[in-house]
Amino acid sequence: MTIKVRELQSADWDSVWTFMEPVIRAGETYPFARDMDEASVKGVWLEATHAVYVAEDEDGVILGTYYIKPNQPTLGAHVANCGYLVSAGARGRGIATLMGEHSQESAVRLGYRAMQFNLVVKTNEASMHIWNKLGFKLVGELEGAFLHSEHGYVDACVFYKVLVS
């Protein structure tokens, strides 16, 4: 299967929302409120970001998405922050890893020098594995920083990687 990562087009949103909504409603891996409406999610995902991408298969089916934005304003804006989501049916097929690699290349192309993830839920073993595999350093663990729908307050991790020295 050939997967292509490209910039999100406005017509892609409905497909993205189809797999994004169940992830948000589950409240297990993403920090959006479980009852957040589509318009609010769309605003955060599309409008408060620098760029948004989708991963699609050879049939044009969108399998995942990610955004890239500055982690902090002004003097911290050279550090990128990203958020990633993969459709349930595409998990375990390397889509998140592909988007993780693509996001690092995109970040450098967009002028970022490093990348930081502020809230990787520790119970999300797949994400923990991917960021370790892609060379990110675990720089901190935040006790009880995420309110998991099933487990209550769980730890979250902060990962960091220098992209341009």
pLDDT in tens, the chain (165 residues): 799 999 999 999 999 999 999 999 999 999 999 999 999 999 999 988 999 999 999 999 999 999 999 999 999 999 999 999 999 999 999 999 999 999 999 999 999 999 999 999 999 999 999 999 999 999 999 999 999 999 999 999 999 999 998
Q: How many angstroms separate the CA atoms of 64 and 37, rounded?
A: 20
Q: How far apart are the first and last CA of the chain?
A: 35
Token match 């073993």: residue? 125
CATH number at residue 46: 3.40.630.30
pTM of the entire structure?
A: 0.95
Q: How many angstroms separate the CA atoms of 107 and 41, rounded?
A: 22
What tokens appear for 135 in the block? 């060379």
Give me the domain span that covers residue 118.
3-162
Number of domains in the chain: 1
Q: Choose among 61, 56, 58, 79: nearest CA to 158.
A: 79
What tokens appear for 20 in the block? 């994004």
Q: How far from the centroid of its chain's Cα atoms is residue 149's Cα? A: 19
The whole-number pLDDT of residue 48 equals 86
